[in-house]
Amino acid sequence: MEGSHVTRFSDRIRRIRPALAGFAAAVLLTAGCTLPVIAPRVEGQGEAAPPGTAPTWRACPEVPDELVGRGAQGMRYECARIAVPRNWGNGAATGATAGPGTGETFEIALIRIRSERQHDRIGSLVVNPGGPGASGVDTAVYLSYGSGFGGLPAAVTDRFDIVGFDPRGVARSSPVKCIPDADLDASFGYDPDPQSQASFDGFADLNGRIGRRCGDRYGDQLPLYGTEQAARDMDAVRAAVGDEKLTYLGYSYGTLLGATYAQLYPQRVRALVLDGAVDPQQKLIAGSESQAKGFERAFDNFARWCGANAGRCPIAPDARGAVTSAIDKARVSPVRGRDGREATAGWVFYAVISSLYTETGWQELARAIDSLQGGDPTGVFKLADAYAGREENGHYSNLFDANMAVNCADETEKPSIPQIRQLQSQWRAKYPLFGPALAVGMLGCVQWPGGRDPYPTGKAAGAPPILVVGTTGDPATPYEQTAALASMLGVGQVLTWEGEGHTAYPQTACVTNAVDAYLISLTVPRAGLRCPAR
């Protein structure tokens, strides 16, 4: 849902990866500091190492300081920048001009985190949180705080450096920025199901304006932000950290990035964990409908929980009715917040989306809707803004600029605007809360300028076993995509978590033990392993 910010690939993260939100909050409480919604970006990290040369690492404790207020105990943080060709050439975007021969490069920001307790070092664990558009540098920092805060277990950090990178166009890595804050406010606040023709046309016009603005700024460079180019950058990251083979942990869209790497460089794979699997073979329409189904299923799970836990859910016994009513009321008489912003149907809808990424968000949603009914939209804005990466001053990071650039460079299917209008009606009948929004969200890439650079969708012939992790209640990357990705790669081994929310590792002992054994000892879980919710 590119225009409405629920893409078929993306986790559409709440600040970083939603599964990390709980431990990030715990770190804040421990540290007694305030975490900004979008952390400041450190641009002055020295010169980028030219392609093919070793980077210069420097201590950068300011990165965790800016994100959390302090670094994790016993961890050392180092940063570097490498330069990569804007166009890797082989399989390059049609019509894009930059290439290896032109001398034009992008800068890729890296962070390397090493435990003081490290022993018997295996190598580097490269991490990516998905999005596309989320910061791998930030993710690595959050993961460094250990299992007590929901981060990586000591068994992993004792054996690996944790390496995060911001993919091309994201955060600190030659960021794409072309969507004004006002347009993002308008997009998030827009009716998620614009039923009148005038309202639908208005949303189409908004997406068209966003596309034209980005096309005017970046022109034929837009296809260069696609997934295949970024996967080739990952091989430069592997070389920069000195590993002969890649060990990788990718979440959500990061599974697509890892799968693409495995197809391009199967002989350079040591171990890949792909958690929250994307099916690379799904085109735009099928992928959008799959996600509509996934969110509808996750909301049903929330509603059942609400009915069974009335003491913790103030909108029980009919959570679906309460949420639907709140959205309907917001269409005609939105409640105004303390900052003067109105909690329109769009903002209420994204509060719902935000809450479904983690089971811990369910109670927060119930309270937010209950408060909204009482005239206080604070909880709705808190959820929606965390999802959108909107700061208190109304400024956005480049998360969604990058998300559009990557997704639209990848996507070759372009349904017509009348076809989208028809799907909006059809999906409203099948998926009443999420279907229309996922349909009209396709307007974003349909009206995006520039050429396309689709990623490969085949076997990772010659690669070792790749661990593909799926969560049965995942809204953003529905569980059905797990087996599809494993099958496409040909070497995928499925690990199932019978839990709720988006992504699984390291949520429970069963999941954690299986993934750790694979990363450390290359022990593949037994076929068909299913881990219970708790």
Per-residue tens of pLDDT for the chain, all 534 residues: 434 444 433 333 333 334 343 333 233 222 222 222 233 333 445 678 777 778 999 999 999 999 999 999 999 999 999 999 999 985 444 445 445 445 689 999 999 999 999 999 999 999 999 999 999 999 999 999 998 898 999 999 999 999 999 999 999 999 999 999 999 999 999 999 999 999 999 999 999 999 999 999 999 999 999 999 999 999 999 999 999 999 999 999 999 999 999 999 999 999 999 999 999 999 999 999 999 999 999 999 999 999 999 999 999 999 999 999 999 999 999 999 998 999 999 999 999 999 999 999 999 999 999 999 999 999 999 999 999 999 999 999 999 999 999 999 999 999 999 999 999 999 999 999 999 999 999 999 999 998 999 999 999 999 999 999 999 999 999 999 999 999 999 999 999 999 999 999 999 999 999 999 999 999 999 999 999 998
The residue annotated as part of the active site, out of 161, 279, 502, 516, is: 502
Name residues whose C-beta falls within 8 Å of residue 522's C-beta, 6 or more positions apart in sequence: 270, 271, 464
The residue annotated as part of the active site, out of 252, 288, 354, 397, is: 252
State both tokens at 56.
């210069």
Q: Residue 233 catalytic?
A: no
Rounded to 5 degrees, what angle do the CA atoms 36, 407, 281 make?
Answer: 130
Q: Classify 276 in phi/psi space as left (phi over 0), alpha (psi -120 to 50) or beta.
A: left
Cβ-contact 96, 224 below 8 angstroms: yes
Cβ-contact 46, 73 below 8 angstroms: no
> Residue 225 is which amino acid?
Y
The residue annotated as part of the active site, out of 233, 385, 401, 474, is: 474
pLDDT at 277: 97
What H or E segment, with its residue span, contains residue 467?
strand 466-473
Q: Residue 474 catalytic?
A: yes
Q: Residue 235 catalytic?
A: no
State both tokens at 152.
């990586």
Name residues whose C-beta falls within 8 Å of residue 391's C-beta, 6 or more positions apart in sequence: 36, 37, 38, 385
Q: Report pTM.
A: 0.91
pLDDT at 6: 47
**How does 15-34 read in b/e, with b if 16+ C-beta sit within 10 Å?**
bbbbbbbebbeebeeeeeee
